[in-house]
């Protein structure tokens, strides 16, 4: 086998192992003890195409934000073993995806960690990753797309998503 082929194979294997080590949390879909919600771009396109009252400023804000989203994944568990797995996978994901810590809130038995993949400017991000860990439940939220942090906080609060109060406090 020529040296060029060996180098190419080594690069491909290295790339594939890096990709697989960049944890994609889909392994939790359908797992007993985990509630999983996945929303993709097709639903966002359908929602933005709906006949909404365009005179309503909140509706305009929501349509604008939805059009720029790629997907949202939300995972929750109360299972102790799965919570440990969430923590391990969170650490690996943050490291492998080279996410920047946006904020960390530690209060009594709850830890909220919010990380981002920076976007084109200081008020936008490409990905928002949130891990909320408490004595009762762990929640992981991954939002991909062009995200305005203030808008996502307002929307999360309207739908009462876990961690929404922390997101709403982010200043642009």
Find all residues with CB under 8 Å of 77, minimum gap 6, and list them. 28, 33, 34, 35, 83, 86, 137, 138
Residue 122 pLDDT greater than 90, yes or no: no
Residue linked to tokens 């568990």:
77
Determine the pLDDT at residue 130: 92
Lowest mean pLDDT segment, chosen from 61-65, 68-72, 82-86, 138-142: 61-65
Select from 22, 39, 36 the least CA-distant residue to 77. 36
> Lowest mean pLDDT: which of 17-26, 94-103, 117-126?
17-26
**pLDDT of 44 over the 60 cut:** yes
CA distance 57 to 9: 54
Q: What is the pLDDT of residue 10?
A: 47
* Average pLDDT taken over every residue of the chain: 76
More confident residue, 147 or 50: 147
Alpha helix positions (H), the chain: 3-21, 41-49, 57-67, 80-96, 149-158, 164-168
| Cβ atoms of residues 111 and 133 within 8 Å | yes
Q: How confident is the model at residue 124 (pLDDT cuts 50, 70, 90)?
A: confident
Residue 102 pLDDT: 87
Strands 100-107 and 34-40, by their bridges, are: unpaired
What mean pLDDT comes out for the span 160-171? 56
């Amino acid at each position: 086998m020529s040296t060029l082929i060996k180098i190419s194979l080594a690069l491909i294997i290295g790339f594939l192992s890096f990709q697989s080590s960049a944890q994609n949390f889909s392994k939790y879909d359908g797992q007993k003890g985990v509630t999983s919600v996945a929303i993709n771009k097709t639903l966002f396109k359908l929602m933005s195409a709906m006949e909404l009252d365009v005179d309503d400023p909140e509706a305009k804000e929501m349509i604008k934000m939805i059009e720029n989203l790629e997907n949202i994944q939300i995972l929750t568990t109360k299972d102790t073993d799965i919570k440990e797995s969430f923590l391990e996978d969170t650490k690996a994901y943050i490291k492998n995806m080279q996410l920047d810590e946006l904020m960390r809130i530690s209060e009594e038995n709850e830890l909220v960690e919010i990380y981002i993949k920076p976007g084109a400017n200081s008020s936008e991000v490409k990905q928002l990753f949130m891990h909320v860990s408490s004595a009762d439940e762990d929640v992981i939220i991954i939002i991909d797309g062009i995200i305005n942090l203030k808008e996502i906080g307002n929307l999360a609060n309207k739908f009462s998503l876990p961690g929404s109060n922390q997101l709403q406090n982010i200043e642009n």
